[in-house]
């Protein structure tokens, strides 16, 4: 069995960037929305401005250089070549930390976390960071067959950490990464120090539990989300291939599909760039465009949306809940995560904490895992 760890560099050809700029220049735009807000989707004025910046100003090569400054590898697991960052700390007592992204993100979301996690002022807070690209995302292979569920991906991550020689490790995840980190807490519990989830999910327990005001507000927000914001997941869970033709052929289509989520799910006062600079948003969009993952990244919804077991997790668990992100009742989570040691309701932040609140997230990871070393 091929278990080699092959060094990897990101090197998209210049012709791909030239093609991108040409397609952006030839965009066929729709008419403007008939409302003065985002209720019909991304406003035309906003998207034209963002697309213009993407075509004339944004520098993908700078982000490519940031990625290539870090050790990257690919290795074959369960028939699929998985791409991952593997940045070892200079401190020998560092704890291995697995970071898992979600949709519509990628490992570029974690770039600002690498240095403070691997090389902190206090060596007791140091981590060896492993950040894989999900199957079908960015620089990992696109599955050619069905079956790449959250649970199968979690099993692949467990094999990856073992292949890297880490017998005990910590794990953090957001979005789909949160679900697979929870699954890891079940299937690879003997090797996990603990898990940190930025979006914990759990089923309602069979017995009656008391819900507080935040719990009830979180459930109401989830219901409203499903009614008003859930269209993207319904499409990706049922027809990812059909959607993929549009996203793979039109860079503005890819831009709108992703930018809407960063705007809607981040914690800002109407100006997204106050929390996520446009170039960081374009990092995510550009990598998705160049890698052509419009269909493949959506298929995890087809595979796993509303189909996960959400089995009990007995390893030490911490949950960071941000006000613009989904919030399950704490009492429900306590029934799933039976060793819940830390629950933090933050007063700011949204669905992308590594981009919106990197210092806060690093502090949470340090504080929790410091107790488990």
Transcribe 252-289 into DSSP letters: HHHHHHHHHHHHHHS--SS-GGGTS-HHHHHHHHHHHH
Q: How far apart are the first and last CA of the chain?
A: 33
Amino acid 373: pLDDT = 87
Token representation of residue 60 = 């993908």
Token representation of residue 293 = 């993952």
**How confident is residue 215, by pLDDT bands cut at 50, 70 and 90?**
very high
Token representation of residue 248 = 């793979």
**Number of residues that this document lists for the chain:** 373
> What is the average pLDDT across 154-183?
98
> How is residue 337 annotated by DSSP?
B
Amino acid 319: pLDDT = 98
List, for residues 113-158, the tens digit of each pLDDT value.
Answer: 999 999 999 999 999 999 999 999 999 999 999 999 999 999 999 9
To 5 degrees, how large is the angle CA 59–CA 17–CA 259?
65
Rg, C-alpha atoms of the chain: 20
Active-site residue identified among 58, 73, 137, 301: 301
Active-site residue identified among 83, 128, 346, 351: 351
Burial (0-12, 13-18, 19+ Cβ within 10 Å), 76: middle
Query: What distances in angstroms separate CA 71 from CA 38, 85, 200, one per listed residue?
Result: 40, 6, 30
Q: How many Å apart are CA 104 and CA 101, to the nearest integer?
A: 9
Amino acid 24: pLDDT = 98
- The alpha carbon dihedral of 228, 232, 237, 243 has a sign of positive
H helices of the chain, where? Answer: 14-25, 44-56, 60-68, 111-118, 150-163, 176-187, 213-228, 231-238, 240-249, 251-265, 278-291, 299-304, 330-336, 353-356, 358-370
In sequence order, what are the residues at sequence separation of 6 or more whose Cβ sits closer than 8 angstroms to the Cβ of residue 170?
95, 96, 97, 98, 127, 192, 193, 194, 195, 196, 365, 369, 372
In this structure, the number of other CB atoms found within 10 A of the CB of residue 18 comes to: 10
Active-site residue identified among 73, 83, 125, 175: 175
301 included as an active-site residue? yes
Closest CA to 151 of 315, 297, 299, 307: 307
Q: Please report how the helices 111-118 and 358-370 are oriented relative to each other, as an axis angle in degrees rounded to 10.
A: 40
In this structure, the number of other CB atoms found within 10 A of the CB of residue 235 comes to: 15
Residue 104, preceding bond cis, omega within 30 degrees?
yes
The answer to whether residues 180 and 152 touch, using CB atoms and an 8 Å cutoff, is no
**How confident is residue 306, by pLDDT bands cut at 50, 70 and 90?**
confident
Token representation of residue 246 = 């549009």
* Residue given tokens 């306590």 in the structure block: 334
Amino acid 2: pLDDT = 81
Q: What are phi and psi of 173, to 5 degrees?
A: -150, 155
- Class in CATH terms, 6-370: alpha beta
> How is residue 91 annotated by DSSP?
S
Amino acid 1: pLDDT = 60
List, for residues 30-80, the tens digit of each pLDDT value.
Answer: 999 999 999 999 999 999 999 999 999 999 999 999 999 999 999 999 999
């Amino acid at each position: 069995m091929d278990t080699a760890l092959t060094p990897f560099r990101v090197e998209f050809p210049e012709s791909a960037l030239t093609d991108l700029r040409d397609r952006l220049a030839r965009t066929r735009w729709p008419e403007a929305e008939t409302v003065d807000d985002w209720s019909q989707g991304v406003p035309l004025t906003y998207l034209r401005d963002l697309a213009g910046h993407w075509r004339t100003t944004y520098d993908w090569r700078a982000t490519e250089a940031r990625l290539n400054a870090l050790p990257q590898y690919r290795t074959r697991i369960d028939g699929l070549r998985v791409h991952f960052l593997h940045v070892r700390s200079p401190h020998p007592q560092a704890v291995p930390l697995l970071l898992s992204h979600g949709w519509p993100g990628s490992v570029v979301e974690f770039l600002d976390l690498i240095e403070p996690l691997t090389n902190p002022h206090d060596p007791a807070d140091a981590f060896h960071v492993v950040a894989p690209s999900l199957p079908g995302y960015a620089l990992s292979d696109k599955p050619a067959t069905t079956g790449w569920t959250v649970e199968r991906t979690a099993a692949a991550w467990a094999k990856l950490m073992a292949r890297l020689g880490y017998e005990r490790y910590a794990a953090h995840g957001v979005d789909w990464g949160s679900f697979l980190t929870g699954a890891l807490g079940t299937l690879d519990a003997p090797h996990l120090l603990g898990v940190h989830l930025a979006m914990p999910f759990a089923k309602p327990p069979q017995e009656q539990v008391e819900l507080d005001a935040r719990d009830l507000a979180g459930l109401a927000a989830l219901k409203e989300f499903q009614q008003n914001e859930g269209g993207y997941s319904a499409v990706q869970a049922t027809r990812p291939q059909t959607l993929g033709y549009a996203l793979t052929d039109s860079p503005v289509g890819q831009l709108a599909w992703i930018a809407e989520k960063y705007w809607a799910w981040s914690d800002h006062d109407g100006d997204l760039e106050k929390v996520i600079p446009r170039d960081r948003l374009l990092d995510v969009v550009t990598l998705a465009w160049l890698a052509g993952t419009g269909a493949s990244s959506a298929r995890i919804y087809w595979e796993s949306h509303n189909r996960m077991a959400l089995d009990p997790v007995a390893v030490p668990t911490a949950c960071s809940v941000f006000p613009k992100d989904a919030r399950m009742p704490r009492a429900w989570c306590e029934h799933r995560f039976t060793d819940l040691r830390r629950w933090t309701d933050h007063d700011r932040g949204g669905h992308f904490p590594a981009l919106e609140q990197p210092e806060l997230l690093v502090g949470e990871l340090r504080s929790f895992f410091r107790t488990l070393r």
